[in-house]
Amino acid sequence: MSSIRIICPNGHLGFAPMMTGSFELGVAGKPDFIAADSGSDDIGPVPLGHDVCASPRAWQEHDLEHMLLAARKLGVPMLIGSAGDTGTNSRVDMYVEIIRGLAGKHDLPPFRLGWFYSEVSKEYVRGKIRSGSAVKGLDARSDLTESELDATDRIVAMAGVHPFLKLLEEGCDVIIGGRCSDSAIFASAALFKGHGEAQAYYLGKVLECASFCAEPYGAKETVEGTIEGDKVLVTAMAPYQRCTVASVAGHAMYERSNPFHEYVAGGLLDMTDCRYEQADDRTTSVSGMKFVPAEEFRVKLEGSGKVGERYVGIAGIRDPYTIANIDKVIEWARGQTEARFGKDGWELHYTVYGRDGVMGPMEPNRDKPAHELAIMVQGVAPTREMAEEVTVAGTRQLFYARLPEVKGSAGGVSFPLDEVLQATPAYRWTLNHTMAVDDPLELFPTHSAIIG
């Protein structure tokens, strides 16, 4: 079997623009596929729940344009997964529209564009629960209840290789995917070319974050992955970077709790017995990976539910006595808000920078605050009007806190702004679960069209 080469220019397309120098070097090597993932649950539940991007459209278009022009020039497929940060239907449609626009702008010869969706309706999930097929919690979560499902606004399922493979088999030149496993994008290309599952999924695992598997650190640079027989080779394209045994082995554990196992829809990539060798100055060769098919086909679900409208207020403190008593100041402001709105139906969150603003209760130095503090106040409530008033109360009442020994009786905090700022509503992750399905494609409808 011939080898396969794939380049990946960006570990999260759109989140920051790719570096074009190393991408052009990768393209010059005439890869068989150009692929990138464009989404992550790292960005929190707001983009999924509110159905918006976390990335600027100009940056998304920048990378899609470079990739599309290179792929069409070489005549090789271009694969994108988890479109627009979340992989919701609207983000897939947006990327499809961007590709159509770019094809017109550059007057590209006709090509076949494929896309698939990953959103799952609440009623579909409810049907599973009611039929007795538990939607199982991951990471210490309990099984999904209908009340938690009711609190959810939007759900995406994590596709595996299956919708990509279907579209590749239909002859698609460009594929825009809904939410999917990062590694599945690259693995589908290798499986399509007839390579083994272990090498295919490992190739995906190592390429998905682009230059995060190279050193020295430098994000958004292109890397190239190759399968030759039972080996996966990974090469840094940026002249200042190398893929070393340490950087590639180190990447296997990035963003996961277990460095030996990677779960995907349909099975498990086992990296326990991987062997790493420096193949040349910029390339590391990996062998010994295994793939264990799953007994039951379960798909991961991500869900986000709205908590309420949200405003943000900011206050500063310089008086050392007030700093020493900051918890009492916050308690006063919270109490005044409670006097106005009652105990329930709203939230106030205080983040105290200069004491424990980054780590909260895990901060070992929280008893040693700095000489000045910044307090970010977040108020959450069912309506905008109420959220604004809750946030104004929670911020402004810091000013009026009654501390017995305070010298400064003309105002207990400093305000950089008179106002509170409207933020995107607050959401929370309601689903981090898996659901059994009979057919790997049933949640991921595919479409294709000739463009140009």
Binding site for another protein (CB under 8 A): 41-46, 138-141, 245-246, 249-250, 252-260, 274, 276, 302, 307, 310, 347, 349, 351, 357-364, 378, 380, 426-429, 432
Helix (H/G/I), strand (E/B), else coil: 310: strand
SS3 312: strand
Instruction: Give me the least distance between CB of 42 and another protein, in Å please.
Output: 5
Strand locations in 255-388 (E):
261-264, 267-270, 275-280, 283-287, 290-293, 298-317, 347-353, 373-381
Query: Smallest Cα–Cα separation from 214: which of 191, 246, 169, 188?
Result: 246
Number of neighbours of residue 7 by Cβ within 10 angstroms: 28
CB of 64 to another protein, least distance (A): 24
The least distance separating another protein from the CB of residue 390, rounded to whole angstroms, comes to 12
Tell the smallest beta-carbon distance from residue 24 to another protein (Å). Answer: 29
Comparing CB distances to another protein, the nearer of 254 and 400 is 254
Least distance in angstroms from the C-beta of 441 to another protein: 25
CA distance 402 to 318: 16
Least distance in angstroms from the C-beta of 21 to another protein: 25
> For another protein, which is the closer residue by CB, 114 or 369?
369
The amino acid present at 49, given as its one-letter code, is G
Nearer to another protein, 201 or 212 (CB): 212
* CA-wise closest residue to 289 among 260, 315, 248: 260
User: Please, what sign has the CA dihedral across residues 324, 327, 333, 336?
Assistant: negative
Please, which residue, 107 or 139, has the CB nearer to another protein?
Answer: 139
Locate all alpha helices (DSSP H) within 8-143, ordered by sequence. Answer: 20-28, 46-50, 57-74, 89-105, 122-130
Which residue carries 């309420």 as its tokens?
A: 308
Cβ nearer to another protein, comparing 20 with 432: 432
Closest CB 138 distance from another protein, rounded Å = 7
